[in-house]
Amino acid sequence: EMAKLTQLLDNEAFRAYATYATIVLLKMMLMSPITAYFRITRKAFANPEDTASFGKGESAKKYLRTDQDVERVRRGHLNDLENIVPFIGIGLLYALSGPELSTALMHFRIFAGARIFHTLAYLIPLPQPCRGLSWAVGYAVTISMAYKVVKTALYL
Amino acid sequence: EMAKLTQLLDNEAFRAYATYATIVLLKMMLMSPITAYFRITRKAFANPEDTASFGKGESAKKYLRTDQDVERVRRGHLNDLENIVPFIGIGLLYALSGPELSTALMHFRIFAGARIFHTLAYLIPLPQPCRGLSWAVGYAVTISMAYKVVKTALYL
Amino acid sequence: EMAKLTQLLDNEAFRAYATYATIVLLKMMLMSPITAYFRITRKAFANPEDTASFGKGESAKKYLRTDQDVERVRRGHLNDLENIVPFIGIGLLYALSGPELSTALMHFRIFAGARIFHTLAYLIPLPQPCRGLSWAVGYAVTISMAYKVVKTALYL
């Protein structure tokens, strides 16, 4: 039955989903080392055990603080969770709903591009409405896929 | 093999999963525009670039603040992530585990209802234990599906 | 077509995915009651309606506060979301990409072990680099699965 399983990955729309889902999840995962980078360079930590290498007592305690750059990356990370989770779930069902390959590719490419641009707009940061628009584009793509899923699968 | 793929969506329990998973993910996505609505009406933003339209310097800086209503929506959004993510993952495996259609429908409907009620209880807000109970109902439904998945699929 | 559906769960690598995905999602869900436990024992709540049972007005208001232990659990919960979501999404595609059963089991077991250890390291807390290393191990496992998915499925 291994053949049966990999049939899913013989389907081009499903392969496209697998590729772009992996890309956006890896992009989201990238926020963790970026957060760590800013925590270390800005010396701004959340846990006492993380500052132990800076010495004991008051000398280390001062590094238990929030930092604007760290908080910015964390907000970007949370925004990824809020938007990439729906894409992963709805996108999977969309890929199984028998979309046209070209339509599916268009959805996945626009979503991935919008989220990558969103991260750049957040971290550089670019002036608004850059971040707002890139968020809206990804949001609209997910709604469009949800419409196709519900139209194909509706069973209440 | 497109036919093979859409066979998943020929199965009624899987179609029910697709429908309710999409509903709860769309409900979760709704928290983003609600957050934006409160940020704009309460003039409470997290990023300097978001307040640029209010002028420069100190006049815009005062809108970089937290607001009780904004924070309430954000807590509801995070609670959605914490509870809807397990539902999406475990629910998918549950739908593939060959449940009775009526049992599966009962699980999905109760979960969706509980989470919609949870959001209302959080945003209105309703007195406790409304929010706590609706959280617990969704939690119990997910545990029940997890039990079926592990019973069917267990391979350690 | 029920038979077709359950064929997915006839595949041992997919069954292993279903088992370990459910385990790590249940582990993540466990963070919610742990948060509730610390909120109640430390009397530190986020919503006015949660403190109503302590009386009205100022006597209840003092319990609307943050607490170090509560915040620690919440940070652990958010870290779970940031890392378990990619595992669920990429792991599903990995399980469908036809991996060797023994290789797949090794990935799933190490990830689950690393995340359980991460939670212990966060909550006890253990001195660094315990938490950092367990985070890195789970992260590396997910990257390794992503590599296999992209190698098998790439369709841009």
d(C-alpha A33, C-alpha A35), whole Å: 5
A139's tokens: 């949001």
Q: Which residues of A touch C131 (CB under 8 A)?
A: 47, 49
Identify the band that residue C149 occupies on the pLDDT scale cut at 50, 70 and 90: very high
B110's tokens: 């109760």
At A92, which amino acid appears?
A: L
End-to-end CA distance of chain C: 31
- Residue for token digits 């937290």? B66
Alpha helices (runs of H) in A10-153, residue ranges in sequence order: 12-41, 58-61, 68-96, 101-123, 130-153
d(C-alpha B107, C-alpha C3), whole Å: 22
What was the pLDDT predicted at B56? 75
CATH architecture of the domain covering C1-31+67-154: Up-down Bundle (1.20)
Q: Which of the other chains make 3 or more beta carbon contacts under 8 angstroms with chain A?
A: B, C
Look up residue C63 and give its DSSP letter: T
Write down the ipTM of this complex: 0.94
A89's tokens: 């779930």
pTM: 0.95
Neighbours of A105 (CB within 10 A): 19
Is residue B131 within 8 angstroms of chain C, CB to CB? yes
Chain segment C10-31, per-residue pLDDT in tens: 899 999 999 999 999 999 999 9
d(C-alpha C69, C-alpha B20), whole Å: 35
C120's tokens: 């212990």
Neighbours of A53 (CB within 10 A): 10
Q: Cα dihedral angle (C42, C46, C51, C52), rounded to 10 degrees?
A: -170
Q: Cα dihedral angle (A144, A154, B1, B149), rounded to 10 degrees?
A: 110
Is residue B156 within 8 angstroms of chain C, CB to CB? yes
What was the pLDDT predicted at A2? 44
Is residue C41 within 8 angstroms of chain B, CB to CB? no
Is residue A28 within 8 angstroms of chain C, CB to CB? yes
For residue C112, how far is the Cα from the chain centroid? 9
Chain segment A57-108, per-residue pLDDT in tens: 777 889 999 999 999 999 999 999 999 999 999 999 999 999 999 999 999 9
Identify the band that residue B6 occupies on the pLDDT scale cut at 50, 70 and 90: low
| Helix, coil or strand: residue A45 | strand
d(C-alpha B121, C-alpha B112), whole Å: 14
**Which C positions 78-117 lie with beta carbon below 8 A of chain B?**
78, 81, 84-85, 88, 92
Domain boundaries, chain B: 1-31+67-154
- How many angstroms away from the CA of A34 is the closest CA of chain B? 18
Alpha helices (runs of H) in chain B, residue ranges in sequence order: 2-7, 12-41, 58-61, 68-96, 101-123, 130-153
